[in-house]
Amino acid sequence: MPEQSSAVALPVAPAMSRAQVRNPESLRRIGRFALGAIVLAYLGTILVAPLGAMAYELAALGPIEALRSLLEPNALRALAMTGILTGLSVVINAVVGTLGAIALVRHRFLLRPLINALSDLPLAVSPVMVGLAFILLFGREGLLAPLTEAAGIKVVFAFTGLLLGTLFVSLPYTIREVAYVLEELGTSEEEAAATLGASPFQIFWRVTLPNVRFGLAYGVLMTLARSVGEFGAVLVLGGSISGQTQTATTFIHDSIDQRATASAYGMALLLALISVVLLLGLEWFKQKKHGRSR
């Protein structure tokens, strides 16, 4: 009698065809292509097309004529105003943002959650609303108008109002970037320095500040970009008075209203070039920061 094999015959799965094997990969490729096409179409509609239209109009008008319009006194004064506001905003936010980030990340106090939430408020509030709010505070019949008048300080339709509006809209960028870096770093190096007898100022100057320098630089560049492009708050608070409270962005607005297309395109071209330089700087600092974190 022949021996029966104890092995149990298992069902053999049918061989998959090449089309079935390649089908998932083909679907993934189609999905990636469709996703890229959607993103490209979206960015092309809201970014590339408007910039392309401006470049076309600028070429038709003549770049030399547009740039020559920037040498007019009103344009130079508007650029100077934007430069001063941006410089002050960067310096003040760099100091206040760094100290505020240290307070929020390294310390625990009663009003910390409220301050943390208020730091993000400028990201959620329209700049036009900010300008109106400052007018309600410092305007002719504002709540704080008696105090500013007694101190001889003019806010509405004055440089002080432009600075307040610019500081408000650019507040979150430095404080948030520095706070993120502080959270990633932890407190080990600072605690080691304190153990060795370093004072709080020495710890800040020699340990904390060098460690957050990339985050601080990134936040400063973002603050600079936001300050240069601010329009709503400075228009409402300053009124865009030529030679007094007019900035580069409100100069473009006024030039379009007056059909001075050469002046408008020239200033827009200059701000676009500044934005490109800032974008390249942001990307460089981002790469530096990521390379350091690795």
Note whether 70 and 266 are within 8 A (CB).
Answer: yes
Look at residue 289 in the predicted model and tell me its pLDDT: 63
Look at residue 294 in the predicted model and tell me its pLDDT: 56
pLDDT at 179 over 70: yes
- State the pLDDT confidence band at 44, using cuts at 50, 70 and 90: confident
CA distances, 203 to each of 74, 93, 180 (Å) = 48, 21, 19
Per-residue pLDDT averaged across 9-37, rounded? 67
Q: How many CA atoms lie within 13 A of 164 on its CB side?
A: 20
Which amino acid is residue 173, in one-letter code? Y
Which of 14-28, 38-52, 233-247 is predicted least confidently?
A: 14-28
pLDDT at 8 over 60: no
Give 141's DSSP letter. Answer: T
Vertex 122 angle, CA 248 and 143, to 5°: 90
Per-residue pLDDT averaged across 8-22, rounded? 49
pLDDT at 15 over 60: no
Superfamily of segment(s) 66-293: MetI-like (1.10.3720.10)
Per-residue pLDDT averaged across 255-273, rounded? 87
Look at residue 16 in the predicted model and tell me its pLDDT: 47
Q: What residue has token string 């061989």? A: 15
